[in-house]
């Protein structure tokens, strides 16, 4: 479990520290204050292949893939990860992500992303974790980044290391979209986890008795989700945003067993009347499946619903507010006794 977190020189953050994390963690704040950027930092740090995570994040931000000079080099695109969109000065000002290290402790657990000048005077991107570094020429094409690193990553990890390395399950539920729910459902095929998913969906549709994924007609590719409700088969897409959001969240959670789940803007698509029940499912599954959960919101309804579970699980949860003032970010922790203050400060009702 990640017990604390520090972010330096990443996106809008010059430096922020989160001193304590628990099993379930809620981050609140206004729009555009940096909640999603914080989750991207978590995603890179928790991902077993850091460069794959970097590639995925930047690829999704396709606004970064078009430049006035039509440049598509690694340097021109990766610079958007760095504070103020500027690559670090060579051999200095690295991006640092990781748990807060006490003085004298081993710093190898930190993830470091920096630019260097190598012995051939080439400008290099270097990503380091656990004393293992991977380098790429900044002038190389960005689209080659993941392919290059995937091959080197597999080569550098010895068979002994691969066997001893824990397979970390990491899921990122984004504020919009629904991810690859077909693949996630197949991953839990014929297990009791499917029953957990169906039970959660009954929060919105009590008559739901089962789920199946069926092939579409010949004009389309892939499978779509359908639900059995009172004996009638109904397409999930026709059932409203709420039940589709719960399906996405719970499928991601059961696929993250013994790992981590990130949920950006929890409240999207969820009516305030069901949020308390969804939080109950999240707290329960976090414990039974050993999943550490990180969630963002700017909704007072979400905070109220979270508080209903936090009261009886105070040591198993944290809540923090992200602020931006005087051109600096800060993270303020709350105790349960401060819940009413959180509801009245820097949140928006939806």
Least confident of 28-32, 64-68, 98-102, 260-264: 64-68
- pLDDT value of residue 348: 52
Residue 44 has pLDDT above 90, yes or no: yes
Structural domain spans, the chain: 49-164, 170-203+241-344
Residue 165 has pLDDT above 50, yes or no: no
Q: Which two tokens stand for residue 174?
A: 């984004």
- Compute the average pLDDT of residues 266-270: 93
Q: What CATH number does domain 170-203+241-344 carry, 3.30.365.10, 3.90.1330.10, 3.40.50.300, 3.65.10.10?
A: 3.40.50.300
Residue 335 has pLDDT above 70, yes or no: yes
Whole-model pTM: value is: 0.88
- pLDDT value of residue 119: 87
| Digit-coded pLDDT (tens) for 218-253 | 655 678 889 999 989 999 889 999 999 999 999 999
Residue 42 has pLDDT above 80, yes or no: yes
| Digit-coded pLDDT (tens) for 287-307 | 999 999 999 998 999 999 999
- pLDDT value of residue 49: 87
- pLDDT value of residue 221: 65
Most confidently modeled of 99-108, 148-157, 218-227? Answer: 218-227
High-pLDDT (> 70) share of the chain, %: 86
Higher pLDDT, 266 or 219: 266
- pLDDT value of residue 164: 39
């Amino acid at each position: 479990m990640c017990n604390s977190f520090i972010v330096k020189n990443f996106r809008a953050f010059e430096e922020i520290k989160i001193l304590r994390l628990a099993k379930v963690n809620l981050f609140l704040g206004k729009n555009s204050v940096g909640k999603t950027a914080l989750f991207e930092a978590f995603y890179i740090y928790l991902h077993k292949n850091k460069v794959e995570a970097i590639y995925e994040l930047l690829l999704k931000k396709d606004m970064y893939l078009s430049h006035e000079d039509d440049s598509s080099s690694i340097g021109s695109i990766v610079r958007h990860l760095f504070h103020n969109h500027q690559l670090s000065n060579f051999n200095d000002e690295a991006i640092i992500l990781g748990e807060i290290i006490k003085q004298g402790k081993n710093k190898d657990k930190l993830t470091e992303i920096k630019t260097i000048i190598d012995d051939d005077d080439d400008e290099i991107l270097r990503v380091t974790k656990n004393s293992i570094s991977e380098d790429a020429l900044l002038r190389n094409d960005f689209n080659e980044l993941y392919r290059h690193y995937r091959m080197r990553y597999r080569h550098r990890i010895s068979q002994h290391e691969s066997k001893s390395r824990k397979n970390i399950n990491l899921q990122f539920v984004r504020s919009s979209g629904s991810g690859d729910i077909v693949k996630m459902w197949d991953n839990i095929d014929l297990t009791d986890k499917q029953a957990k998913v169906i039970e959660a969906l009954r929060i919105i549709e009590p008559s739901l008795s089962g789920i199946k994924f069926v092939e579409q007609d010949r004009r389309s590719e892939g499978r779509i989700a359908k639900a059995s409700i009172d004996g009638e088969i109904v397409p999930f897409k026709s059932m409203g945003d709420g039940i589709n959001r719960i399906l996405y969240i719970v499928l991601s959670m059961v696929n993250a067993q013994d790992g981590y789940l990130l949920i950006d803007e929890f409240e999207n698509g969820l009516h305030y009347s069901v949020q308390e029940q969804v939080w109950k499912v999240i707290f329960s599954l976090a414990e039974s499946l050993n999943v550490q959960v990180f969630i963002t919101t700017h909704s007072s309804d979400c905070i109220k619903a979270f508080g209903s579970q936090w009261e009886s699980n105070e040591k198993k949860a944290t809540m923090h507010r992200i602020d931006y003032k005087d051109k600096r970010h800060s993270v303020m922790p709350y105790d349960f006794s401060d819940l009413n203050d959180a509801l009245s400060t820097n949140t928006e009702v939806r």
